[in-house]
A and B are shown apart, each in its own frame.
Chain A
Amino acid sequence: MAEVKILTEFYHLPEYQTLAGYKAKGGYETLPKALKMQPQQIIDEVKASGLRGRGGAGFPTGMKWGFLPKNGEPRYLLCNADEGEPGTFKDRMMMERAPHQLIEGMIISAFAIGSNKGYIYVRGEYVYPIECLYKAIKEAYAAGLLGKNILGSGFDFDLDVYRGAGAYICGEETGMISSLEGLKGQPKLKPPFPAVQGYLRKPTIVNNVETLAAVTYIIKDGAQTYRKHGTEKSAGTKLFSVSGNVMKPGNYEVPLGYPLMDLIMKECGGMKPGRRLKAIIPGGSSAPVLTAEEVAKANLDYESLAGLGTMLGSGAVIVMDDSQCMVDMLGVLTHFYAHESCGQCTPCREGTGWLDKILHSILEGRGRLQDIDLLIKVADNMKGKTICALSDAAALPVLSFVTKFRDEFEFYVREGRSKVKGTTYAEMHH
């Protein structure tokens, strides 16, 4: 098994960014076919494909679409391109290299769910991807692929890009809706779920960039063709953004179920010379870390990783070699979550800050041995106690790092310096 390029086949071609280049490779050929289908047929096809949301939660896409009310009420399609999880950069590539692929997927998806208005919510820092999207949307409007009566089908669909102000939590679907509504980016209580009451209190579907792009291929070649890739419960291919101590970090498209070790050793060229694999965070910084021994058993699909107590998440694989201090690494992650907590739910608002302070006490040589257990207690009590999953995202790395690499934490507390690097925090960072 090796890379299978369904989504990324033409990403190396600069002209694939443009309408002409995209069309030259068969782009927008699926759209007329889709517009002749019944919307329910498209939904059924997506259901049959087994496509699961590629943003992190892995919820079945067709099932999510099926939650929309049948009453014909106006509804919205939101493309989640916020991509704020540390380690994740797959959607950026798709928006830069193949913006029309996303647009075609959105038009088909909007037709299926009966939406006439869509937004691509992009994190504000993604200046270049936003420019690419603007250009592509302009081209699509000029070619009659967006707007009124698309390709004479009678279907109208307008698409806009919305630049977020750069908050991690705006990648959470209800936080994104709040932000799009002009409010502070804070998640909303569920129920009601966005499919019933979302943007402007209307039914709303929020899907990730990669999910929407995959819809085109499912409609083009059929669900069964798509299902040939991946596993029974995790169908299709998936983009993995690999970062950290590997020879060739980058985005890789592989079928779900692909061995994690193969991704590192074969696709990414293995570890840097003289270095050993120490640990991997397989699905973005919120996923529990795997030790090298666990990595050897891990396949890149939802079930295999869940079986190892972690998750596929957004597919951001962060690789750490034996030079990495896990206390320092956790300090970085925890600081990120403390900074990004929206401040709404008390366990998350106060818990993320508390974890950050405890870790920095340890890193700065002021730690107490009981702080290690306190980290676990605090994280344990943040889990599952808040409106959204940011609290869990902050807690899970703490629990896994401290449990699996406890000796490093104990050493740090006792000695006031890193077991791995032999230096203090100040020496490490200055």
Chain B
Amino acid sequence: MPKCTINGKEVEVKEGTSIIEAMQQSGDRIAHYCWHPGLSVAGVCRLCMVEIEGNPRVQIACNTMVTEGMKINNTSEKVRDAVKWGLDFHLINHPLDCPICDQAGECGLQDQYMEYGKYDPEMAEHKQKKHKVVDLGPTVVLDSERCILCSRCVRFTEEVSKTNELGLFNRGDRTEIGTHDGMPLDNKYSLNTVDICPVGALTSKDFRFRQRVWYLKDAETICNGCSTGCNVKVYYNKEGFFRVKPVYNEKVNGYWMCDEGRDIYKFVNREHRLLKAQVRNASGWTEMTAGAAAKNASEVLKNTSGDSLALVLTAQYTVEEFDAIVSTFVNEFKTKKVFFWINNKETFDSFDGLLLRGDKNPNTKGLLKVLEKHGITATWADLSQGIASGSIKTVVVAGPENQVVFPDFAERVKELSKAHNLIWLQAGKNDALMALAGNVWLIPTKTFVEKDGTFINQAGLEQKFKKVTTVVSEALTLTEAALLLAGKNLAIPTTAQPFMPTNQRADQVELEARKKNEFVFRRGSL
């Protein structure tokens, strides 16, 4: 464990630690673009300059290992001057149009300018013109003139996705990032290149120009796109959710997440949600609040307990919710007819070797644990048989939040709708459900960003997450729904929005319907 001195403080680090890592450990700020802890060292931006006692020249911190007794400094005039010039070299051909750049507000170059660059520019020559709005593939756009050639994206495709689509082309200040001929940037992890781009050169087609980042709030949660359970940050404001980015977790996802997972913000937004409960009987559909619909359904359940009642669960809810609803069915309704709806049996166990798993549910392990705890052994065949024979008369379904990953949705609706009463708890709108005849209750539920809870990922790791905000105020959690279905009351103050939770954060924002700016949206879609 070598000890070194960084800016006068003694720091002890692990053998093989680079100076830049040691500085991060000690909390000292250091300029850098090309270094990324999840990638190999390139040493090309030349910004992480430090002075090492006894060495006449400044050194890069990313490729210099700490040795015993090393005295390191990055606050001296010599280093500041080197970094200032390093910044100048970066800026001479970089456009200075931050107000219209998609990365404005979260750009490394802007941060560096504020730290080192507040001086009069000396560049009087014309900038080197590079390509603008280069369509790299289905997900990413390159504005080459902004690129500072840190090569993070190239290294990502070489080292992480191992797809090698990107390369550095040409030489000198004509160098540009690009895709190899006939090979678009089209892999399952392509949007990580946008995350690691320190400037606004690589932009996500999905997010590009849709929001200024300073109008967004963010919060950490767990991705519910598959059973890996990547740690993510969601970005949102009053208009809705806009993007998802990975958060480092060494045990789960490292620095990365897949492109599929980045879509999970979409089904959360109001335009895809079931905003009010819909109840159908012989006279047609009636709109109700979620709580009122659950209370209404409880009247049916009161008379339908035991083996004539079944519960179908998708593995998209929290451990706490599963526990609450299964307990209710076992203890209150005296039925163990609880069924696990597996969405894609053929590909359920597949894994791409990096993060993506065939099990597109965040909490399969959590559901199985709860079912085991309650001694549930029922199989789907029992359900099919029960519905077909008429022994199962009422079915309660906790349908998927993320319907896209349930290719058999319409088929299952058809099968389950044969029951006399169908009570369907679901976050999103669905045409197949709205087309049903008979006795149907459609009750809106909350999504993963609207509640606290726990997911257990494929490796058995329990990950707790906190509520981010509320999108559909009156939507219920399964826990709340279970109480109401059992005929109990919720201790929630009745206001204009009767099911508003009481545990709102001080900085809670209420989502409003998006006010579309068509011009901005057209730009965003290229």
Taking Cβ atoms with an 8 Å cutoff, the residues of A that contact B are 167, 184, 186, 189, 191, 338-347, 349-354, 357-358, 361, 368, 371, 374, 377, 381, 384-387
Contacts and interface: CB of A to CB of B under 8 A. Distances in A.
B173 A343 contact: yes
> Interface centre among B57, B93, B173, by most A CB within 10 Å?
B173
Contacts of A345: 43-46
A191 B151 CA distance: 20
Contacts of A354: 89, 92, 123, 125, 173
A189 B89 contact: no
Given A345-B44, A346-B45, A338 B172 contact: yes
Contact of B175 (A189, A347, A349, A386): A349
Contact of A381 (B42, B57, B82): B82
B20 to A, nearest CB: 13
A186 B170 CA distance: 11
Contact of B86 (A344, A346, A357, A358): A346
A341 B46 contact: no
Contact of B90 (A339, A346, A381, A387): A346
Q: Give me the 4 closest cross-chain CB pairs, A-B, nearest first.
A: A343-B175, A353-B173, A357-B125, A381-B85
Contacts of A371: 124
Contacts of A352: 172-173
Interface string B96-137: 000000000000000000000000001111101000000000
B403 to A, nearest CB: 45
B119 to A, nearest CB: 12
24 contacts: A184-B168, A189-B41, A189-B42, A191-B63, A338-B172, A338-B173, A340-B171, A343-B174, A346-B47, A346-B86, A349-B89, A349-B149, A351-B89, A352-B172, A352-B173, A353-B128, A354-B125, A354-B173, A357-B125, A381-B85, A381-B89, A385-B82, A387-B43, A387-B44
A343 B151 CA distance: 11
B148 interface: yes
Interface string B122-162: 11111010000000000000000000110100000000000
B167 interface: yes
Nearest to B174: A343
A346 to B, nearest CB: 5
A210 B491 CA distance: 90
A349 B57 CA distance: 20
B122 A350 contact: no
Contacts of A349: 89, 149, 172-173, 175
B81 to A, nearest CB: 8
Nearest to A385: B46
Nearest to A337: B172
Nearest to B169: A184
Contacts of B149: 343-344, 346, 349
B172 A189 contact: no
Contacts of B128: 353
B46 A368 contact: no
A350 B173 contact: yes
A346 B125 contact: no
A144 B85 CA distance: 57
Nearest to A391: B46
A191 B43 CA distance: 11
A336 to B, nearest CB: 11
Contacts of B174: 343
